[in-house]
Amino acid sequence: MSVKNLGSLAGKVAVVTAATDGIGFAIARRLAQGGASVVVSSRKEANVKRTTESLQSEGLDVIGVKCHVGLEEDRKNLVDETLKKHGAIDILVSNAAVNPFFGNLLDCSGEAWDKIFDINVKSAFLLTKEIVPHMEKRGGGSIVYISSIAGYHAMPGLGPYSISKTALLGLTRAMADECAKYNIRVNCVAPGVIDTKFSSALTENEAVKEKMLDQIPLRRIGVPQEMGGLVAFLCSDEASYITGENITAAGGMESRL
């Protein structure tokens, strides 16, 4: 069975950050399977090359551009290279995040706090700012931020990271209001615990994992592909009346601020 054209994204150009592993990779692959021309990116050239080649070998329309989202020149280059190749941008999935700190919230240094907010929040904002004028020229577009269930309820030891993910919920609302006049929809996805390298500290230790599962009504850890379909839907014309929303995909974990 062909993996192409599972959705209605034909003719759309999508930029996905942090797309060489985990959730970002699954999203990029699903968007391309839906017919989009996808630009994958992450910090390491080798990861970008491996991912691009792997997706191209599946017959998908994918190119890769190295982009550390915290670097202005990399963000600009990502946009420039996308425009050079495709002449337009219709979709931005802002997926990059870091967590350099684990511990009590009050023990977090200003330096670690800045790093978390620079990558997880500020770069999402700045990349949006860079891309919106091109979507405006196109007559519309779709932006999806990747938040986290932790944005609703701070995970123990992950206070600053969790707060950065709460900020993305606010960014979604404010940006959706402002971009509606350009026919640009802005939505957010809050994954629960998903099986990736990022979450391995929670999923590799059996005792920690059991405790985690007790909080998940579906009693299992999610997989990255479960985020891909949801993001593809939000980016498609089937979601044309949805903006300013956050959709939690967390196996039933509570999501209320």
Catalytically annotated residues: 161
Please report whether residue 212 would count as binding ligand NAP according to CB under 6 A: no
The 3-state secondary structure of 21-39 reads CHHHHHHHHHHHHCCCEEE
Q: How far is the CB of 139 from ligand NAP (least distance, A)?
A: 29
Please report whether residue 28 would count as binding ligand NAP according to CB under 6 A: no
Among the residue ranges 42-50, 102-110, 134-142, 171-179, the one whose residues contact ligand NAP (CB under 6 A): 42-50
Please report whether residue 126 would count as binding ligand NAP according to CB under 6 A: no
Q: How far is the CB of 66 from ligand NAP (least distance, A)?
A: 8
Residue of 22, 34, 35, 228 interacting with ligand NAP (CB under 6 A) = 22
The 3-state secondary structure of the chain reads CCCCCCCCCCCCEEEECCCCCHHHHHHHHHHHHCCCEEEECCCCHHHHHHHHHHHHHCCCCEEECCCCCCCHHHHHHHHHHHHHHHCCCCEEEECCCCCCCCECHHHCCHHHHHHHHHHHHHHHHHHHHHHHHHHHHHCCEEEEEECCHHHCCCCCCEHHHHHHHHHHHHHHHHHHHHHHHHCEEEEEEEECCECCCCCHHHHCCHHHHHHHHHCCCCCCCECCHHHHHHHHHHHCHHHCCCCCCEEEECCCCCCCC
Q: In the block, which residue shows the tokens 């932006």?
A: 143
- CB-closest chain residue to ligand NAP: 22
Please report whether residue 23 would count as binding ligand NAP according to CB under 6 A: yes
Q: What is the CA radius of gyration of the chain?
A: 17
| Contacts to ligand NAP from residues 65-94, by CB under 6 A | 67-70
Please report whether residue 31 would count as binding ligand NAP according to CB under 6 A: no
Please report whether residue 253 would count as binding ligand NAP according to CB under 6 A: no
For ligand NAP, the closer of residues 8 and 56 by Cβ is 56
- Kindly determine how many residues on this chain lie close enough to bind ligand NAP according to the rule CB under 6 A: 29
Q: How far is the CB of 87 from ligand NAP (least distance, A)?
A: 24
Q: How far is the CB of 26 from ligand NAP (least distance, A)?
A: 8
Q: How far is the CB of 126 from ligand NAP (least distance, A)?
A: 12
Q: Are 75 and 127 in contact (CB under 8 A)?
A: yes
Q: Compute the distance between CA of residue 70 and CA of residue 68 in angstroms, rounded to an integer.
A: 5
Residue of 24, 34, 35, 159 interacting with ligand NAP (CB under 6 A) = 24
Q: How far is the CB of 33 from ligand NAP (least distance, A)?
A: 18
Please report whether residue 42 would count as binding ligand NAP according to CB under 6 A: yes
List contacts with ligand NAP (CB under 6 A): 17-18, 20-24, 42-44, 47, 67-70, 95-98, 119, 146, 148, 191, 193-194, 196-199
